[in-house]
Amino acid sequence: MSYEKKSGSLHVLAIAASLAVAAGIVATGLGNAQATPLGNSAGAWVQLAVQAAPPEVKKPSLNLKATSSTKLHARGSAKAKVLLRISKGTALKSMQDSKSGWYKVTYKGKTGYISNRYVKTVATKSTDAAKPPLKAPPRYELGFVVNKDHKLSPSYKPALKTIPGTSKQMTPQAVAAFDRMRKAAMKDRISLTAVSAYRSYARQKTLFASYSRQLGVKEAARVSARPGTSEHQTGLAIDVGTSSGRCVISKCFANTREGKWVAKHAHEYGFIMRYPKGTEKITGYDYEPWHFRYVGPVIAKDMHNKKVVTLEKYYTR
C-alpha cells in the first residue's frame, strides 16, 4: 500500500596507486550506491581498500532479540559496569558467538556484552535486493505501485473529488470510474457503496496505531498499512461495501451479491482487487475482497486478460 524513492551514497577509500604497486599490495574494498525510481536497490562493489595480507574472513553477524529486559555490560561479566539497559524485544546484532556465555553487541552507540540467557537468535529475513525489480510507471502516474517497499511521502496528497452522494473522496479519474461502475451495477439491481476511500498519512498513522494496540504490531501489519504505505493515501483505492451494511470490511463480502458482481466486473471500469486470496506473500497483506485499486482500464483489462492478479507480478514478469 506505498511508494518512496530511495537513494544512497558511494563511499570510496582512495589509496595512492604508486604505493600499492611498489609494495606489491592487492587493493580491495567496498562501496554501495542505490537510486531507482521505485526504490529498488542496486549494489555496486568497488575494490579499493589496501591490505598487505589476505583479508580476514568475517563471521556473519547474528541477529538477536532480547527475550526479557536486561543490561549491557562493559565486559562479559555480570559484575562489570552497566552501560545501559535493554528492553524486552529489542533487536540486536553480534559478530561474536556466545561460547563464553556472552554476546558482544553495539546498541545506542555503546559496545558491550549481553548474557546469552536473555537473548535468542532470529532468522535473517530476505533483503529488498533479492526481490525482482519492479518495472512499474514512474512515481504518481496511474499504475504506480504502493506497498511495503514503495512508500509515499508524508506530505503527498493528490487532487481529490467527492464521490457523488457520499463524503468520501478519490482522484477525479477514480471518482468518475467508480460512478460508472456503480451505475452499471444498479442496472443489475446491485447497490455498491463506498466505505472508505482517500485517507491522509496522519489518518493512516492513527489507524495503524489503533490496530497495533488491539492486535500487536506483527498482526496489525498483515491487515493494516503503516503510514506512508497505504494505497488509500493515493486517492486511487476504495473499500467497496453493501448497501445493507452486511459484511463490510470483512472477507464474507466476497460471498455477497455485491462482492461477486464487483469481483467479476471491476476490470471493465479500471479497477482491480488489490489483495486477492492466496497472494499475501506477494502483496504483504491479508486477503481483502473489498479493497479495489483504480489503475485505469488499459492496465486493468490487460491484467484480466493475462490472468495476472497483483501489480507486483504484473510489473516483474
* Contacts of 310 by beta carbon, 8 Å cutoff, 6+ apart: 274, 276, 279, 282, 283
Q: How far apart are CA 274 and CA 255, in angstroms?
A: 17
- What was the pLDDT predicted at 97? 64
**DSSP annotation of 148:** S
102 touches 115 (CB < 8 A): yes
CATH code for the domain in which residue 90 is found: 2.30.30.40
- What was the pLDDT predicted at 45? 32
Cell 451505475 appears where? 183
Cell 562493559 appears where? 74
Comparing CA positions, the residue from 78, 113, 79 lying closest to residue 96 is 113
Of 121, 137, 168, the residue that ends a domain is 121
Residue type, 145: V
156 and 115: one domain?
Answer: no
What is the b/e burial string over 232-256, where b = at least 16 CB atoms within 10 angstroms of the residue's CB? Answer: bbbbbbbbbbbeeeebbeeeebbeb
Q: How far apart are CA 29 and CA 10, in angstroms?
A: 12
Q: Which residue numbers in the chain have pLDDT < 70? A: 1-60, 96-99, 124-131, 317
- In-domain check, residue 289: yes
84 and 37: one domain?
Answer: no
Residue type, 54: P
Comparing CA positions, the residue from 291, 250, 243, 254 lying closest to residue 271 is 291
Q: How far apart are CA 258 and CA 181, in angstroms?
A: 12
- What was the pLDDT predicted at 59? 54
Read off φ and ψ for residue 173, nearest 5 degrees.
-60, -45
298 and 228: one domain?
Answer: yes
Helices marked H in 17-122 — which ranges?
17-23
- What was the pLDDT predicted at 125? 55
* Domain hosting residue 99, numbered range: 62-121
- In-domain check, residue 38: yes
Q: How far apart are CA 227 and CA 60, in angstroms?
A: 33
83 and 25: one domain?
Answer: no
- In-domain check, residue 213: yes
